[in-house]
Amino acid sequence: MKKLRCLTYEFISLPLLCLLLLSGCSVVPRVNALLPGNRAFIAHWPAKSDRGQIKLAVKDNIDMEGVVTTAGSEYFAKTRAPAKKDAACLAIARERGVYIVGKANMTEFAASPSGLNDYFGTPRNPFNFMRALIPGGSSCGSAVAVASGMADIAFGTDTAGSIRVPAACCGIVGLKTTHGLVPIDGVVPVEPDHLDTVGPMGRDIATTAQGMDLLQRGFEAKFAAAQAAKPSGANIRVGRLYLKGTDQRVDAAIDKALAKAGFQVIPLDDDFREQWEQAKKDGNVVAAAGVWLSDKDFRTAPGVTARTKLAIFAGDISHPAAYRQALARRAAWQRSLGSVFMKVDFIALPTLQDAVITMPKFWNGGLFEARMLALQNTVPVNLAGNPALALPVPLRYVSFGRRPAMAMPMPLLYEGVPVTSLQLIGPPLSEAELLNAGRLVENAVRPWVSIKIPMVGVTIQ
């Protein structure tokens, strides 16, 4: 059996293989899901007044004193006692009296990337204009809460992309922090030794920076210093990574956003792309094994969904042999990234390879989650431990004539979705610099659609 596992892993990532093999185990959702409305929150405490106070949403795998931490699971909701104390990452928010509006919905145990929750119900993607779209996971409720205006800032967790993927799906900003920068004591673990992080999500760069200031003392000053040091994109070098399988409209949108920001864009070579692809396989193996290590005791528990049990089973196959092999390559991958950052300030690529990911029609658990793992360009960053920023950029631009007259968003450009997501990756502890680069991109692409004086006609760029 061990020999078979090793041979299989030479050809395909074992977690993906297991998901594909077991994809016939469809997961039937509960139509009468427990949560009302857009299902962003598992527990919701709306602010009684809006007096300019920050509204913070907290993902429900982060402990809050006196509240049951469900981790998106029926089993935890029914068997866990309320947390005895806050998670360490809430300390600054508590000191400043920030109002917490609720515990945000999430995929069970943060074990799948789609954002689907079969017990509490799946949060509603704000771009559900033409079809039902996934919210992305596992911090799905955090993203929907911010996108819908129910929260200004959300705290999410990111093990393999769980902040950046829902940020991309819902058109908001998400920051994956350097591994070890923000304490994870009191956070339900997936793979804490190498991958797990806590980070902020916001509707724009400014609110995301506010969120980071609630997670790291002194961040406001760091962000101000980064803005002063690089007030424009002219002196910022960005390595552009192109990956096979990316929708060409997504790549074009990323390139246009980088050009509008005025960055010095330097294409990265095929050798680095191959290293990235290996790191993606290794990162998925480590994340899957982490699910097994953290959740194996729940693999037969009543109330744990088939989708999650499938993820736990995939991790069992990855651990221990493939897990050890993947971790053995981690240092080389970190050195490769370090070499790139000697030549560029940031690496840029799409957060997701497609801008439109629809809900599965038959809720085929394994095959759909495997597809999500293939579409997301996030886990190599977790494997290295570096920070990364996901921010929305427009898929298309529409202009009339030559001079600006007015600006407005255009919601129905590409199958109902106006934006895709740019991912910027930085060296360790470069969160302030990443947010400054994101600020430059955000300023350059806003307004998403420019309507100009109709002297010459209509141009769609």
Contact 440, 232 (CB under 8 A): yes
Q: For residue 406, list its beta bridge partners.
A: 451
The dihedral sign for the CA sequence 107, 112, 118, 123: positive
The dihedral sign for the CA sequence 369, 372, 378, 380: positive
**Active-site residue among 73, 139, 142, 162?**
162
For 316-354, give one letter per residue: b (16+ CB within 10 A) or e. bbbbebbbeebbeebeebbebbeebbeebbbbbbbbbbb
Return the HEC string of 312-364.
HHHHHHHCCHHHHHHHHCHHHHHHHHHHHCCCCCEEEEECECCCCCECCCCCC
DSSP 235: G
**Active-site residue among 13, 55, 59, 103?**
59
Q: For residue 460, list its beta bridge partners.
A: 398
Contact 423, 388 (CB under 8 A): yes
**Active-site residue among 112, 138, 318, 399?**
138
- 138 is annotated as an active-site residue: yes
Residue 297 to residue 312: CA distance in whole angstroms:
10
Residue 167 to residue 156: CA distance in whole angstroms:
10
- 23 is annotated as an active-site residue: no
The dihedral sign for the CA sequence 181, 186, 190, 194: positive
* 388-394/450-452 β-pairing: unpaired
What ranges in 126-235 are assigned the alpha helix state H?
140-147, 164-170, 205-213, 219-229
Q: For residue 83, list its beta bridge partners.
A: 65
Residue 461 to residue 396: CA distance in whole angstroms:
7
Taking the CB of residue 209, how many other CB atoms lie within 10 A of it? 27
For residue 433, give the amino acid letter. Answer: E
For residue 224, give the amino acid letter. Answer: A
List the catalytic residues. Answer: 59, 138, 162
